[in-house]
Structure 1
Amino acid sequence: MAELVTVDVNDLTVGEMEDIEEVTGTPFDVLFDPAGPKGKMLRAAAWIIKRRNDPDFTFEQARDLRVNLSDVERPTEPSGQ
């Protein structure tokens, strides 16, 4: 089974967020958009986390990881409407 990487968006530096935007070509806030694409963004976030301990870890290698996204505010459904 593929390695599980936990990504806590509150733990990312501004520089890491910029790296994610650069490699995906997508604004970072798309991660919080329920309708926005997630695959490449999650892959980039996992790459950033792995890169902290292994500077040679590549964006391509991140394709094989599983991602647990924590501390992301999820919109709540309006009640009674």
Structure 2
Amino acid sequence: LPFETIFGGAIGLTKKQFQKANGFSNKYLGWGGEDDDFYERVILSNMKIFRKSLKIARYASLEHVKNTKQRNHPK
């Protein structure tokens, strides 16, 4: 991984874990920042992130272009 706190894409949580992290923020519209925000919610909820090896946990995504006009980051 490029950096330790990278989080998002494909994650798995139980309903109880999602509720403990207080779900996703409503502050984001479009693409960007929501993964970092949810990472902070998980860490602040005293949960740990486990990363499986690429032999077990692997996926591919389609190429896409960022829409920078839709950014709505909280300040």
TM-score, L = length of structure 1: 0.31
**Structure with the higher fraction of residues in strand conformation:** 1
